[in-house]
Structure 1
Amino acid sequence: MCHVIVTCRSMLWTLLSIVAFTELIAFVSTDWLIGKAKPLSSKEMDNRTGGSQEPYHPMLGIYGRCTRISHMQLSRRDTLCGPYAENFSEIASGFWQATAIFPALGIMILCTMAFVSVITTCVQSIMKKSIFNACGLLQGIAGLFLILGLILYPAGWGCQKAISCCGPYASAYKLGDCYLGWAFYIAIGGTILTFICAVFSAEAEIARSSDKVQEELEEGKNLICLL
């Protein structure tokens, strides 16, 4: 018989595990590197009768970028965003290929943990082992994959794609004329949150194994909700 056990700490861990999966948003974004503003030419200014007059900022992600569409008229945003690499071998550099692999593995684990965390209210063990401890271990491994990706990413700033976006002074761990976009900081936040989830899974297990829960189980209750 399934015993549904819900505690404040287990619910918080579930919510954090789901939020950590937002790491995927950073991974697919092009807002990792933001290039120096490029003012519009006089010809482009003449072509615009109702479009934005703001200067153009090129953006470059791990495998995607945003580029300007020339001679676009009556457009609020004159940029086209999409992948610059049609296959894995075309990703800008070996370091960025590693940056694509390690976070992808971490995100796959986080996706699985987000799903598993929802069913922990009913399933508390796997092969007589605590599901919270198992999930915490996997979240820790996911966090290590994410850290590896973040460390290797700046090493690829010297690739040709980055130089074309950030200028000739861009090199490994040197941004040149670029600055970091919101996706990079979201990736850092998601990594930190992943490790918080890994640690907090132990608290969820302690709450599930508390004396109060055991007492209610012995009383034959199938639904247990504790603060």
Structure 2
Amino acid sequence: MCHVIVTCRSMLWTLLSIVVAFAELIAFMSADWLIGKAKTRSNAEPDDQSGGSSEPYHPTLGIYARCIRNPGVQHVQRETLCGPYAENFGEIASGFWQATAIFLAVGIFILCTVALVSVFTMCVQSILKKSIFNVCGLLQGIAGLFLILGLILYPAGWGCQKAVSYCGHYASAYKPGDCSLGWAFYTAIGGTVLTFLCAIFSAQAEIATSSDKVQEEIEEGKNLICLL
């Protein structure tokens, strides 16, 4: 018989696991990793064929995506065209960014899997005679290591030709030149920190769901157990 066990600590861990997975996924898909130097239609990047207005704007560049001024809109401020600049994995601007994409993708896949499993921890507390919280915490720790590797390698690709076209000729490995870091990069860092906090907090969720009070209520025949 399935005993549904809900505690504050287990619910908080579940919610954090879901938030972290979505935050990392959104950051990975975003083009706002690097904010390019201010451009006008007259000095736009080579692959932006727009023309006309001299209103400055800031193109953005992600691991595999970008945002530029929409060539079809000449008089609307901040109208942008966003999408992947690479048609396949091999066209990603830098080998370091390719490695970053791989490490982040693996880490995010693990986090999304844990987030899905965490929803069922209210009813299932063990898997193969191991605490599901401990298993998930271990997986989150592994995911965090993949995320760290990806984030360390990402700045090494700032010297690639694509980044230089956005950030100026002073851009090089670990030096963004005229670019500034966008919200996606900081979100990925924050999500990585929270990933390790989730891994640590999973132990508290395990303690809460296996406490003596929970066992007492199970022995009393209760199927739904809610504890603070």
Scaled by the length of structure 2, the TM-score of the pair is 0.92
Q: Which runs of 5+ in 1 are unaligned?
A: 47-52
Q: What per-residue deviation string (whole Å, max 9, x for no partner) do you get for residues 103-150 of structure 1? A: 100111111111111100000000111000000000000111111010
Distance in 2 (CA, whole Å) between partners of 1:202 and 1:214 is 18
Aligned position for 2:7: 7
Instruction: Provide the residue aligned with 2:203 in structure 1.
Output: 202
Q: Structure 2: which amino acid aligns with 1:224?
A: I
TM-score, structure 1 as length reference: 0.93
Aligned mates of 2:15, 2:93 — CA distance in 1:
35
1:39 offset after TM fit, Å? 3.5
Q: Give the length in aligned residue pairs.
A: 220
Matches of 2:120 and 2:72 in 1, distance apart? 53
Aligned residue number for residue 144 of structure 2: 143
- Deviation for aligned residue 1:78: 3.6
Counterpart residue number, 2:47: none
Q: Partner amino acid for 2:2?
A: C
State the Cα distance separating 1:76 from its structure 2 match. Answer: 4.2
The one-letter amino acid paired with 2:15 is L
Q: Give every structure 1 segment of 4 or more consecutive aligned residues whose post-TM-superposition deviation is greater than 6 Å.
A: none
Deviation at 1:45, TM superposition (A): 3.1
Distance 1:71 1:81, change over 3 A: closer
CA distance 1:101–1:108, shift in 2 (3 Å): same
CA contact 2:137–2:200 (8 Å) conserved in 1: yes
Q: Which residue of 2 aligns with 1:50?
A: none
Q: Distance in 2 between matches of 1:100 and 1:146?
A: 10
Residue 35 of structure 1 pairs with residue 43 of structure 2: no
User: Helix, strand or coil: the match of 1:80?
Assistant: strand
SS in 2 for 1:120: helix
CA RMSD for the aligned pairs?
A: 1.6
Mapped partners of 1:178, 1:76: distance in 2: 20
Q: 1:72 Cα shift?
A: 2.8
Q: Return the alpha-carbon distance in structure 2 between the equivalents of residues 69 and 212 of structure 1.
A: 61
Q: Map 1:112-127 onto structure 2 (within 5 A).
A: 112-127=113-128
* Aligned partner of 2:53 among 45, 50, 75: 45
| Percent of residue pairs identical | 79
Amino acid at match of 1:185: Y
Q: Residue 80 of structure 1: CA displacement?
A: 1.4
Q: CA deviation at 1:56?
A: 1.2
Are 2:53 and 2:75, in contact at CA under 8 Å, matched by a contact in 1? no
Residue 68 of structure 1 deviates from its aligned partner by 2.6
Match of 1:111 in 2: 112
Query: Counterparts in 2 of 1:1-227, with a 5 A limit?
Result: 1-21=1-21, 22-41=23-42, 44-45=52-53, 53=55, 55-70=56-71, 72-227=73-228
Residues 45 and 88 (structure 1), Cα distance of their counterparts in 2 relative to 1, 3 Å cut: closer
1-structure distance, mates of 2:155, 2:102 = 15
Q: CA deviation at 1:71?
A: 6.3
